[in-house]
Amino acid sequence: MIEKKDKSGSNIIEDIIEKIEYSDCTYPPSDDSLLGISLILELAKRQYKFSKVLDLCTGTGVLALAAHRLLDPDLLVAVDISPYAVEDAKRNLPGNVLVIRCNLAECTRGTWDLVIVNPPYLPFTDDVDNCDGFLVNTWRDTGVLRRACLQSANIADSVLFIYSSLSPLDVEECLSSRGFNIKLKLARGFFMEKIYAVYAERTFRET
């Protein structure tokens, strides 16, 4: 049985976060992760079913763990380009979740019922990085957000995407132009920034 029937939403989120371990070279769960888990929980409450789920830019694997716990897909794959993140995700996720080192969705094939995307969404200029460049270079690559949107739109029937009001890309316009309709949206405000988590479903596929 999925534990959402026995616990409040806040307890479920706390329980998932508390299970996450991470190294100094992997970004820890933060407000964006909490918002993503909240949206996954909302999908579970509404009894959405996804057989195949792909988590891009998995980091610690926290959103993949939430998907495993709350959505119970038949196939769950977590992907990250950082070898440090891959090792952390492998520690945090159960053995039946496949964790792959890959640049976004370039190593995947076929289509997915749900693609979860929480990419680095703010420009980063700090030159300090003791992690073989995987922290600085990933955040400095402002094009990663657009590539994440386009690649997920190409392979997904539905997308859960997390982004910031300060992001250099209009994520919702990107998804809608590729045939997706926003169905659910959560937001959190922090001073001059808002973080959004959107769930979008495909209405048409480009030919």
Whether 136 contacts 174, CB under 8 Å:
no
Mark the ranges of the chain whose per-residue pLDDT is less than 50.
1-6, 123, 125, 128, 139-141
Contacts of 59 (CB under 8 A, 6+ apart): 22, 26, 27, 29, 80, 85, 88, 89, 118
pLDDT at position 64 is: 98
How far apart CA 12 and CA 17 sit, in angstroms, is 9
| Burial class (CB within 10 angstroms; exposed 0-12, middle 13-18, buried 19+) of 134 | middle
The full set of domain ranges for the chain reads 3-202
How many other CB atoms are there within 10 angstroms of residue 42's CB atom? 16
pLDDT at position 135 is: 59
Residue 37 tokens, joined: 């888990």
pLDDT at position 205 is: 67
How far apart CA 92 and CA 173 sit, in angstroms, is 33
How many other CB atoms are there within 10 angstroms of residue 39's CB atom? 22
Q: For residue 89, which amino acid is it? A: A
- The predicted-structure confidence for 15-52, as pLDDT tens digits, reads as follows 999 999 999 888 899 999 999 999 999 999 999 999 99
pLDDT at position 24 is: 87
pLDDT at position 144 is: 85
pLDDT at position 18 is: 92
How far apart CA 78 and CA 188 sit, in angstroms, is 25
| Domain over 3-202 is classified CATH 3.90.550.10 | no
pLDDT at position 167 is: 83
> Quick one: DSSP state of residue 51?
S
